[in-house]
Amino acid sequence: MGNIVILYDMEKIIGLIDAPFTPFDAEGNVNFEPIPAYAAMLAANGLKGVFINGSSGEGYMLTPEERMALAEKWVASVPEGFKVIVHVGSCCLKESARLAAHAQEIGAWGIGAMAPPFPKIGRVEELVKYCEAICSAAPELPFYYYHIPAFNGAYLSMVEFLKAVDGRIPNFAGIKYTYESLYEYNQCRLYKDGKFDMLHGQDETILPSLAQGGAQGGIGGTTNYNGRELVGIIEAWKNGDIETAREKQNFSQEVINVICNYRGNIVGGKRIMKLIGLDLGPNRVPFRNMTDEEEAAMKKELEAIGFFERCNRF
């Protein structure tokens, strides 16, 4: 078995994990200064951890050195018990393994990776081998596959993927499922009586997933600024208050409708952080940053739905 560590009774995540934005300064350099306040704000609003250097964090547009430095800063900045999961996916598998080993060395809670956008993975076995190589570099950490086929074209059956990894990758924990098929998500959740941790990855459908018995844990992007409402959906559901859960889910969809007018969460959502008091700077090229006029227009749309009375608080 070598240095492989088999993780028995792997912990399943309860609650919502945030996918934070990467702060940049005006020149486009990583700005580490806001991270302690960022971490404290997320924890205060009910989030249970962060999934850093992923799509919301513009991870593929960071150098390996930047990604490792960000991981170190987040691990050093979070309150006790707040999970740090490091996205280590890369088009270069050796780089992914290096990032995974680093995450283990610095005491991250876990790691994750999406399929690379190039070369496109078209077979389950290719994906398993990719994940297997990453997992072997950090055998002590739980690993989550980040299923987001809209970003990388890896439209593979996740049920078949679970069957293929089952018993093959000792530290495989589960999937961050960011895709529209609630049917497939639920089938994965039911696999072998819930053997794997299925983290719901779409903030717009938390409630229907709860109704199927899932969404005990999730990773979101709009949780950066709308975390209180998204956490509130789960709390209302647990309390049997379906009307409140439904209202909060519908409100959260209204917020998503607004950011869709401004190039989505990575661009529009990151600018919302400035509006609630935490300026995280611009996006990296080739993202097209919002203009001041667009920011003003987005603010008006958010005011019209009462967002600023319900958003995350510092």
Q: Which of 177, 164, 239 is nearest to 206 (CA)?
A: 177
Q: How far from chain centre, in Å, is Cα 33?
A: 21
**Among residues 146, 177, 185, 262, which one is catalytic?**
146
Note if 176 is an active site residue. yes
User: How far apart are the C-alpha atoms of 103 and 87, rounded to whole Å?
Assistant: 9
**Among residues 83, 176, 248, 270, which one is catalytic?**
176
Angle at 68 between CA 67 and CA 71, to 5 degrees: 90
User: How long a stretch of residues is the chain?
Assistant: 314
User: How far apart are the C-alpha atoms of 216 and 206, rounded to whole Å?
Assistant: 10
User: How far apart are the C-alpha atoms of 59 and 68, rounded to whole Å?
Assistant: 11
Q: How far from chain centre, in Å, is Cα 203?
A: 10
Rg, the chain, Cα only: 19
Q: Which residues of 157-187 are buried (b: 16+ CB within 10 A; e: fewer)?
A: ebeebbebbeeebbbbbbbbbbbeebeebbb
Residue linked to tokens 């200064």 = 33
Cross-strand partners of 175: 145, 198
Q: How far from chain centre, in Å, is Cα 116?
A: 16
Note if 146 is an active site residue. yes
Angle at 12 between CA 7 and CA 13, to 5 degrees: 135
The pair phi, psi for residue 112, each rounded to 5°, is -155, 165
User: How far apart are the C-alpha atoms of 105 and 22, rounded to whole Å?
Assistant: 22
Containing H/E element for 175? Answer: strand 172-177
Residues marked active site are found at: 146, 176
